[in-house]
Amino acid sequence: MSEYTIRPLDPQTWDAFARLCEKHNGMGFGGCWCTWFHPRRKDLDVDVEAGRPYKEFLVRQGRAHAALVFEGDVAVGWCQFGPPEELPGIFHRKEYEAGLVSLPDYRLTCIFVDRNHRRDGVAAVALRGALDLIAAAGGGVVEAYPQDTAGKKVSASFLYSGTRSMFEKAGFDYERPKGKNHCVMRKIVGNAAR
């Protein structure tokens, strides 16, 4: 396995993130640039194009967070995280809200790995990186919505939120199902800043 490092998504790492997105046609969901879970542009009252311009705007404003996995100077994966107000978009909202007791401090909404680095453990590295960045920011309750594969092989295009087994290995607890093949999982992350 290669030596990977974690860096936060910010203006200094934007170009590396953008190169990875461009390599993969702006990522899934019609080239969304990992903006689907962010507030709609009209809700923020910003006049910026969808996709890359919107994501760059959010990053430069400090409204988009992710743990970027680097191999040398090249970004090869990431795990997007943020508070619910930063990432309000959620699939199966009615079902999610019906079982909701309290909002988390952070959501993990998207994990992506460069096609040349899949099955190398990059997703787990990205997840650990996100949890470390959350701990450095003060920690709290972290929620994720992974695919509950039940041991079945699933196309990588459906694994944008990781797998239940990967989150279990990272210490997350299963809470409840959400949608046909996803679930809600939670973990309390301590404050590393103390």
In the predicted model, is pLDDT for residue 158 greater than 70? no
Residues shown for the chain:
194
Tens digits of per-residue pLDDT, 44-90?
888 899 899 999 999 999 999 999 999 999 999 999 999 999 999 99
Give the burial string for 154-193 (b: 16+ CB within 10 Å, else e).
eeeeebbbbbbebbeebebeeeeebeeebbbbebebeeee
Task: Report the half-sphere exposure of 154 (CA within 13 A, side-chain side).
Answer: 19
In the predicted model, is pLDDT for residue 140 greater than 90? yes
Instruction: Find out whether 69 and 126 touch, Cβ atoms under 8 Å.
Output: yes
What's the chain's average pLDDT? 90
CATH class belonging to 5-189? alpha beta
Q: What are phi and psi of 2, to 5 degrees?
A: -70, 165
Q: For the whole model, what pTM was predicted? A: 0.92
Tens digits of per-residue pLDDT, 90-138?
988 899 999 899 999 999 999 999 989 888 899 999 999 999 999 999 9
Which tops the pLDDT comparison, 13 or 99? 13
